[in-house]
């Protein structure tokens, strides 16, 4: 890929095109991480709605241990999102070109650690599996927060419920019958076809990433996280290199 294109994806100067392309790449990574991570630790790590619901169920049933497990996963996701805000604002106050690349670079490093730790311990014990689960929740919080900040809360990459809701809204507009009424000059209800196309691509890539992640994990185990980390490093490398050159 051209250097300028890679620079635009995670650089400080943003365009709608760069936001869309970055979101599509991150949706694929999120789907792969979520599905492969489930096979690794037996828990989805980006589905906070389900985790909060399970917390309520477990508390009602008196299972405090499972409630604490859900609460810790929720807290890890929350801390990951907060960490993204800290890293972005830290870079912004120093006029760094890589202010948006920092959280994704951290995510890449964490995925590498997850891969190496999982490959080293073939059958992780309960405590170690819990740590890996929290690590994945943290990385999903990192990733969802960065695309949320970049797109000003218009795009999500791990929050599929929101994507499906937005698809339904745009489909409702698309199939709405704009019947003219006498004496009323109302604007026609029109769907945002470009947004609808983006939403469909996001959910499609999330699904494709999940399918590929699950199939790959079955054959190579934890090593499947390495290509995902490598993709994140490619996305973040150019702005980081620009800052290193500027420092010298």
Q: What is the pLDDT of residues 61-70, one digit of tens each?
A: 998 988 998 8
- Residue among 29, 27, 5, 31 at smallest CA distance from 17: 5
| 139 domain residue, yes or no | yes
- The count of structural domains within the chain is 1
- pLDDT grade for 122, boundaries at 50, 70 and 90: low
| 64 domain residue, yes or no | yes
Cα separation of 199 and 19, whole Å?
Answer: 13
The CA-atom distances, in angstroms, between 179 and each of 103, 174, 190, 230 are 48, 14, 13, 52
- Residue 96 is classified by DSSP as -
**pTM to 2 decimal places:** 0.87
| 248 domain residue, yes or no | no
| 247 domain residue, yes or no | no
- Residue among 137, 148, 167, 154 at smallest CA distance from 45: 137
CA angle 220, 223, 226 (to 5 degrees): 135
The per-residue pLDDT for range 17-66, each reduced to its tens digit, is: 888 999 999 999 999 998 888 888 777 777 788 888 889 999 999 989 88
Burial-class residue 246 by CB neighbours within 10 Å (0-12, 13-18, 19+). exposed
| 92 domain residue, yes or no | yes
Q: State the pLDDT at residue 25.
A: 93
Domain span at 57: 3-241
- Residue among 233, 210, 228 at smallest CA distance from 106: 233
């Amino acid at each position: 890929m051209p250097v300028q294109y890679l620079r635009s994806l995670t650089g400080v100067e943003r365009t709608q095109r760069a936001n869309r392309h970055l979101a599509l790449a991150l949706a694929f990574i999120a789907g792969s991480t979520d599905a492969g991570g489930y096979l690794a630790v037996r828990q989805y790590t980006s589905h906070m709605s389900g985790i909060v619901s399970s917390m309520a169920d477990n508390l009602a049933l008196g299972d405090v241990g499972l409630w604490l497990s859900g609460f810790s996963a929720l807290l890890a996701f929350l801390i990951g999102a907060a960490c993204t805000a800290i890293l972005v604002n830290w870079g912004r106050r120093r006029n760094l070109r890589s202010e948006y690349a920092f959280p994704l670079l951290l995510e890449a490093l964490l995925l590498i650690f997850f891969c190496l730790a999982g490959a080293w311990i073939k059958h992780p014990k309960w405590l170690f599996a819990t740590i890996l689960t929290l690590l994945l929740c943290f990385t999903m919080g990192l990733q969802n927060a960065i695309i949320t900040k970049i797109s000003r809360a218009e795009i999500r990459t791990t929050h599929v419920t929101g994507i499906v809701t937005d698809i339904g809204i745009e489909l409702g507009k698309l199939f709405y019958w704009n019947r003219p009424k006498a004496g009323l000059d109302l604007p026609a209800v029109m769907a945002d076809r470009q947004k609808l196309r983006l939403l469909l691509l996001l959910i499609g890539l999330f699904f494709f990433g999940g399918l590929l992640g699950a199939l790959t994990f079955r054959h190579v185990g934890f090593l499947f996280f390495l290509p995902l980390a490598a993709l994140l490093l490619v996305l973040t490398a150019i702005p980081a290199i620009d800052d290193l050159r500027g420092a010298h």
